[in-house]
Amino acid sequence: MLRAVLIGLFLLGTGALAGVLMAVEMAMVPMLRALRGERWIEVHRLLDPGFDPLMPRVNKVVLALGLVLVAVVPSTPARVSFGLAAAGIVGVALVSELRNVPMNRRIDGWAAAGLPDDWARLRARWARANRLRTLFAAAGFAAAICGATFAWS
């Protein structure tokens, strides 16, 4: 029973991470790309506080659940799948912490009236990093679904 609850929570968590990042990729990135520099900074700054405190915490909880599942599920295919899902979550964390968060800090330091010349290039790099972490999250969710299928069969 506990294993089934852990698997359900892991599916919920990996699905939430993938869904949020997919929504950012499909809706917010194109909207941000269409904005002029000053407005882009303003909107980016308004969006970031909504994601920053919550998503890293969700990521850590989901990763912990994945590692627990690797240890407690009896079947090798399920363990491997949950391990791959956890690796996807690690990928999300690494891209976020090594790419997106430093860029967010840099953007937060800009004055809207004094944009650097390379601001559009940084916006494109941020979008590419977001796409990469979205792919990691989607792969992690797919692997979690496989793990659940193996564990429940």
Contacts (Cβ under 8 Å, ≥6 apart) of 118: none
Q: What is the pLDDT of residues 104-113, one digit of tens each?
A: 989 888 876 6
| pLDDT given at position 112 | 64
| pLDDT given at position 125 | 97
CA-CA-CA-CA dihedral for 111, 115, 116, 120, to nearest 10: 130
Q: What is the pLDDT of residues 43-67, one digit of tens each?
A: 988 888 878 788 999 999 999 999 9
Q: What is the reported pTM?
A: 0.94
| pLDDT given at position 113 | 65
Quote the CA–CA distance of 38 and 94 in Å, as a whole number. 29
Residues of the chain with pLDDT under 50: none
**C-alpha atoms less than 13 angstroms from C-alpha of 48 in its C-beta half-sphere:** 17
